[in-house]
Structure formats: C-alpha cells, structure tokens
Chain A
Amino acid sequence: AQKITQTQPGMFVQEKEAVTLDCTYDTSDPSYGLFWYKQPSSGEMIFLIYQGSYDQQNATEGRYSLNFQKARKSANLVISASQLGDSAMYFCAMREGRGFQKLVFGTGTRLLVSP
C-alpha cells in the first residue's frame, strides 16, 4: 500500500488565487511527521513546511499552510496568493515510527501558475 498518496498529477491556478494540493497518508504509528517540499524546474528540493502528528494546530509558514486532518489522514498544502514563481513540483513526505528518520515521498503534484 502507498504510504503517501498525491492524487493530483497536475494543478492549474491563476496568479493571486489560492490553491490546495492534496496529500493523504497511511500509517498506524501514533508518532509521525508530514513534510512538504517544492522542486522547481531547476531541480533543487526546497523544504516548505512540516506538521507533527501531535501538533494541535495547523502549521503555517508565510503563504504556506498545512490543512491537517488527522482522522482523515490528510495533510493538504494550501498556497495563498499564488505567484508565478510557485510553478513547480510539490512533494508530500512522511516520517513515521519511533527510531526512524527516513522520509517516504509521494509521487508529486505539478503546479502551474498562470498570469
């Protein structure tokens, strides 16, 4: 079974609009962390935001926020006021279990922001 599922291969949004990128995860461990990374066409992986499984509040970082719904096992990324520079691949990842630090990544969503 997929640990991380990103069901949207591609998303389009107009500049200045908000967009939500979906991510669902599968784990039975109570201790886990969820991360979002951005990969522009230049190829580097840029850390955006993370949410711990015990965190009570949704994480926010500038224009990025994480809509964490634990019961539904979803951790959607919300980008507000999209900019042209937000066009990139976005990956959701999970760290799970005690004693482990490795991340498992989803297949990614390609976001295209149009003027």
Chain B
Amino acid sequence: DARVTQTPRHKVTEMGQEVTMRCQPILGHNTVFWYRQTMMQGLELLAYFRNRAPLDDSGMPKDRFSAEMPDATLATLKIQPSEPRDSAVYFCASGWAPDMDSNQPQHFGDGTRLSIL
C-alpha cells in the first residue's frame, strides 16, 4: 500500500534550535497538509498545499514556522527558533482532490514526535 512517509519519527532538541520535518506524500496526490496534535488543542491544521501552491497557513505561527513544497515529492515544515511549547506530534497528510469541492480522504503519515527541551 502507498503511504505518506515522514521523517524523522522522533526529534528531541533544545530550545532555540532549528527543526526541519519532512514529508513525502503519496505519489499522485495533489494536496498536502500539516497538522499538529497536542493533548490540550487536539488536531490543528497548520498549513496546506494544493498542486504545490500554499493555500492556507493561517493556523501556523508565522514568526517561527514555515512550510514549503520544493517539489511534488517533498513537503517541509520548519521551526526556527524552536520553543518548548512547540512540543507535539506533527502529522503530514496527503490526498487527491480533482477539484476543490471533492470529498477525498486525507491519508496521514506516522507523524514526527517533537520534544523541545
């Protein structure tokens, strides 16, 4: 089965360090999403792309977070500088949306468990 691949699976680093998370969407999918999951806030959408174009990053703290899709096989989420409150599980998901109203499911990667000390 095709899967969304996320790296790294786990990351522990000290506050102030740059963190880069990577995602390889399922081949042929044209939408990519970044979510953050915490106990307090649940699952929150940070950013999403369609055909590599960023469509919505309103859920992302702009001063320290950035999301990009340098090509169709790679999406990145960067945090610089990282803070302890960024500790969470970060999920990437991809889907195929032939049009903006289609109800296609999003398929999730296994997530990156991030701990900022």
Contacts and interface: CB of A to CB of B under 8 A. Distances in A.
On whether the two chains bind one another, the answer is yes
Interface of A: 31-33, 35, 37, 43-47, 50, 52, 91, 95, 98-108
B79 interface: no
10 contacts: A33-B103, A43-B113, A45-B93, A45-B111, A47-B106, A47-B107, A50-B103, A103-B33, A103-B106, A108-B42
Interface residues of B, number: 26
A101 B97 contact: yes
Given A91-B43, A105-B42, A44 B97 contact: no
B91 A103 contact: no
Interface of B: 31, 33, 42-43, 45, 48, 50, 55-56, 89, 91, 93, 95, 97, 100-103, 105-111, 113
Given A45-B93, A47-B107, A103-B106, A98 B101 contact: yes
